[in-house]
Amino acid sequence: MSEVSTAGFRLLPGRLSPDAQAELVGEVLSRLDNAPAYKPITPGGKPMSVAMSNFGALGWFTDARGYRYQKRHPLTGEPWPDIPAMLLELWAELADRSVPPDACLVNLYGPDAKMGLHQDRDEADLRFPVLSVSLGDTAIFRIGGPNRADPTRSIRLTSGDVCLLAGPARLAHHGIDRVIPGSSRVIPGGGRINLTLRRAGPSG
């Protein structure tokens, strides 16, 4: 498959085979039994339309007190489940050979969920990229530049696509305008899962 690549943004269409996608969906859903997805509240007080959970030592969380990484699930009080091995291998291949990710944010989209334009900047060391894996329904992804007002372009993320925000694109604004319901059968019952791997804590 061809690769879209501009200044630190890499899109690897179809990087995961259909078999790998199905296996990964199983790994994710079994972990969510113990770490149920919830709709976090933004610092502005609104519930997000995307449901979230996390895998790894640290999980991204938001409530009225703001954005942060925390070690435990906000509802169960338990540590987050481990990051699936397939994702650790993908990170080693595409993001960083020697420092593993310590956080994997799990975003779950129903037919009406979307995510506003944002930067990922809550991690301790912004030299590490963020690696994203899309499963299930196709999403309309929007990506711009480091300034909110920079021009944006729209890209379809389909099941099995992997993308990276690295280098100059690490602080690019990005979001999900919408998903296309019923565009994939990879997830039982439909919907979209996006997994973002991060190094959230300091390395070494």
**Per CB under 6 A, 94 contacts ligand MD6:** no
Rule CB under 6 A: choose which of 15, 73, 173, 174 binds ligand MD6: 174
- Which option in Fe ion, ligand MD6, none does residue 16 bind, with CB closer than 5 to 8 A by kind? none
Question: What part of residues 2-61 is at the interface with ligand MD6 (CB under 6 A)?
Answer: none
Residue 86: what are its φ and ψ, rounded to 5°? Answer: -60, -35
Angstrom distance (rounded) from CA 104 to CA 88: 10
Inter-CA distances, 6 with 10, 99, 152, Å: 7, 24, 13
CB closer to Fe ion, 120 vs 161: 120
**Closest residue to Fe ion, Cβ-based?**
120
Q: Which of residues 27 and 120 has its CB atom nearest to ligand MD6 in the complex?
A: 120
By CB under 5 A, residue 120 contacts Fe ion:
yes
Q: Which phi and psi (to 5°) does residue 28 adopt?
A: -70, -50
The radius of gyration of the chain from alpha carbons, rounded to an integer in Å, stands at: 16
Contact 135, 111 (CB under 8 A): no
Q: Which of the residues 99 through 138 are near ligand MD6 (CB under 6 A)?
A: 107, 115, 120, 130, 132
> What is the Cα–Cα distance from 120 to 129, expressed in whole angstroms?
10
Which span (14-22, 54-62, 72-80, 112-120) binds Fe ion, by CB under 5 A? Answer: 112-120
- Report whether 101 contacts 91 (CB < 8 A): yes
Min dist CB 193 to ligand MD6, Å, is 9
- Does the footprint of ligand MD6 cover residue 196 (CB under 6 A)? yes
Strand ranges (DSSP E) for the chain?
4-6, 9-12, 51-55, 59-63, 66-70, 103-109, 115-118, 130-136, 139-143, 153-157, 162-165, 174-179, 192-198
Q: Which does 176 bind (CB under 5 to 8 A by kind): ligand MD6, Fe ion, none?
A: ligand MD6
Binding site for ligand MD6 (CB under 6 A): 107, 115, 120, 130, 132, 139, 141, 163, 165, 174, 176, 194, 196
Binding site for Fe ion (CB under 5 A): 120
